[in-house]
Amino acid sequence: MSIAVSADARIRDIEVTDDSITAHLVDGRVVSVPLAWSWRLSDATPAQRRRFQIIGDGHGVHWPDLDEDLSADGMLYGVPAARPPAGRAKTAVTRQRKTPGPPRKGRRKAAPTTTRQS
């Protein structure tokens, strides 16, 4: 006799409350971790927490307003996000693009980059 168990953890839906992050997996399992495991989600507004995308065929979740990603495996195996040291944390709200300065002597000029407008 053989028992087949799905090791492929994929997220069907996710809920974020003031206390927890709960993932509903496609195989029926429900995984919940403390909200404190994601400092970005902890610091986010309820509206930002509700705006997410399931990515990688359900293997992860992305919050575009927060630049936060969580994986089903990370939730299952207990991998909380580490908060960066004070003063070094950058969130999507405070992050600014650096503008390139003049080229330094002896170095090649960087190729121009393009930015896609949404």
Q: Are residues 66 and 92 in contact, defined by beta-carbon separation less than 8 angstroms?
A: yes
Shortest CA distance to 38 belongs to which of 54, 12, 62?
62
Interior CA angle at 28 toward 76 and 16, to 5°?
60
What is the residue extent of each domain of the chain? 11-77
pLDDT tens per residue, range 79-107: 787 888 876 555 544 444 344 555 545 54
pTM of the model: 0.65
CATH code, residues 11-77: 3.30.2020.40
- Determine the average pLDDT of the residues in 53-66: 96
Decide if pLDDT at 36 tops 60: yes
**Res 54 pLDDT > 90:** yes
Q: Answer for the pair 50, 63: CB distance below 8 angstroms, yes or no.
A: no
The per-residue DSSP string of 59-107 comes to TEEEETTTTEEEEHHHHHHT-PPPPPPTTT---TTT--PPPP-PPPTTS
